[in-house]
Amino acid sequence: MRLLIKNGTIVNSDVTLVSDVLVEEGKIIKIGNNIQPNSLSDKVIDATDCYVMPGGIDPHVHMHLPSPAGFSSDDFLSGSKAALQGGTTTLIDFVTPQKGQSLSDAIDQRKLEAAKSLTNTYFHVSPIEWRNSMEEEIETCFKNGFKSFKVYMAYKSSIGLNDDVLLKVMKAVGKAGGIITVHCELGDDIDELRDKLADEGSLSPEYHPLSRPAKFEAKAVKKAIELANKANCPIYIVHVSSEESLKYIKEAQANGQAVMAETCPQYLLLNDSKYLGNFEQTAPYVMSPPLRKKEDNNALWKAVADGTIVTIGTDHCPFTLNQKERGKHDFRSIPNGAGGVEHRIALLYTYGVLTGKISINKFVEITSTNAAKIFGLFPAKGIIEVGADADIIIWDKQKENIISALSHHSNCDINIYEGVKTVGTPKVVILNGLV
Ligand code: URP
Ligand code: ZN
């Protein structure tokens, strides 16, 4: 069956135009005015007054992430359902091996876990240690189509890397022609500070942000950029949360280094006032990096608008209140993370486009096109054009919603955007040509 989308306003990152779109066998096969359905079996979708945009690509999610509090509460089925509901048709999650496990073994295992995903699903691969075979393992990943690698400077006791290993991994990824994505927070400094706070009896969630100050992120950003430069490896800095970090990113970009930056809706829209209150009110916001100041929100919005930040991921990693309660008496034991995959596009539309902070084309660029370009999915994805995959959002510009854990599709009883109003929602989501 063919799909004919009539009278919508196509929005790409570089152009906006009113046109019809014809889809067959999962691909966009024609764009033009007055395309007529040529058989009774063609399905026609009226997109009058709607935007027709490339399906969202969320380049940073953690479904079914193991933690001492159990797996993050969305598996690939529930998480991908939530994603589709919000207009995201492609997810990029992570392969994180066990110590001693080869990267290819870990990839095979993760692929099985992700088999029930309803979206297109890809992975960044995380070397969590160095061994003699690592360079070859990275090359093999690359040959098998895994070209993006993720390293952690935080979480030193589990998956975080020391600087010498970080450099070796970056050199290997650079040599293979891949890209390194980095969680920038100084792990050792954080561990020291959080233990000091705990020793002093400062154990409630409000101490989580105090144990991971913005300067630890900024210093890690600076260091990661320097190491990537030395290793001749393109670097993508995940979830940038602070103004201080932007300085180093801008500097490196101005010097011509391949440095890309991502932020998340929570760092644009929420601030550290969320850590004031009782455990139930504050624990949902325990994530790393933590929420920062309003000034940081503003600086990040500017960086999105001026192109310093090129993508918005969610770092979707929900935990239920019961799971968060593992750290009821010690914030260090609260599993880090929060959901958001369902809300990313509506939040950015409402608080970015409708407030005039970003144009509708920039909105498409940061929710879809740039992630496709950076992670090797373009032009199959990230654009509405003939030959592209039919991953399409038909966007109702008017429909209002109030976000709530009672109505969201994520498998979680809390939502960090509880009560937040949005305007605009997908009317229809098309994934590989299927509604
Ligand atoms: O708090 C967070 N972000 N949890 C998910 C894991 C990570 O650090 O990205
Ligand atoms: Zn993450």
Which tens digit of pLDDT belongs to each residue from 292-342? 999 999 999 999 999 999 999 999 999 999 999 999 999 999 999 999 999
Which among 423, 403, 392, 386 is positioned nearest to 30, based on CA atoms? 386
CA of 65 to the centre of ligand 2 (A): 10
- Closest ligand to C-alpha of residue 266 is 1
Contact status, residue 114 vs residue 145, Cβ threshold 8 Å: no
- Closest ligand to C-alpha of residue 69 is 1
Q: Which domains does the chain have, with CATH numbers?
A: 55-374 (3.20.20.140)
Q: Report which ligand 1 atom has the smallest distance to the Cα of 154.
A: 8
Q: Whose CA is nearest to atom 7 of ligand 1?
A: 288
pLDDT recorded at residue 40: 84
Mean pLDDT, 10 residues at a time, the chain of 435 residues: 97 98 98 93 96 99 98 98 99 98 98 98 98 98 98 97 98 98 98 98 98 98 98 98 98 98 99 98 98 98 99 99 98 98 99 98 99 98 98 98 98 98 98 98
d(CA 128, CA 214) in angstroms, rounded, equals 24
Q: Report which ligand 1 atom has the smallest distance to the Cα of 72.
A: 5
CA of 380 to the centre of ligand 1 (A): 29
Q: Whose CA is nearest to atom 8 of ligand 1?
A: 288
CA of 332 to the centre of ligand 1 (A): 14
Pocket test for ligand 1, best of 317, 324, 341, 412 (most atoms within 8 A of CB): 317
Name every protein residue with a CB atom under 6 angstroms from any ligand 1 atom: 62, 183, 287-288, 315, 317, 336-337
- Give the number of other CB atoms < 10 A from CB of residue 272: 17
d(CA 380, CA 399) in angstroms, rounded, equals 29
pLDDT recorded at residue 184: 98
- Closest ligand to C-alpha of residue 92 is 2
Which among 336, 355, 354, 357 is positioned nearest to 416, based on CA atoms? 336
d(CA 28, CA 3) in angstroms, rounded, equals 9
Contact status, residue 341 vs residue 434, Cβ threshold 8 Å: no
Per-residue three-class SS string for the chain: CCEEEEEEEEECCCCEEEEEEEEECCEEEEEECCCCCCCCCCEEEECCCEEEEECEEECCECCCCCCCCCCCCCCHHHHHHHHHHCCEEEEEEEECCCCCCCHHHHHHHHHHHHHHCCCEEEEEECCCCCCCCHHHHHHHHHHCCCCEEEEECCCCCCCCCCHHHHHHHHHHHHHHCCEEEEECCCHHHHHHHHHHHHHCCCCCCCHHHHCCCHHHHHHHHHHHHHHHHHHCCCEEECCCCCHHHHHHHHHHHHCCCCEEEEECHHHHHCCHHHHCCCHHHHHHHCCCCCCCCHHHHHHHHHHHHHCCCCEECCCECCCCHHHHHHHCCCHHHCCCCECCCCCHHHHHHHHHHCCCCCCHHHHHHHHHHHHHHHCCCCCCCCCCCCCCECCEEEEEEEEEEECCCCCCCCCCCCCCCCCCEEEEEEEEEEECCEC
pLDDT recorded at residue 261: 99
pLDDT recorded at residue 91: 99
Q: Report which ligand 1 atom has the smallest distance to the Cα of 60.
A: 9
Residue linked to tokens 């009774």: 40
CA of 367 to the centre of ligand 1 (A): 20
Q: Cα–Cα distances in Å, from 408 out to 290, 329, 394?
A: 23, 29, 20
pLDDT recorded at residue 38: 87
Quote the Cα angle for 44-435-7, to 5°: 35
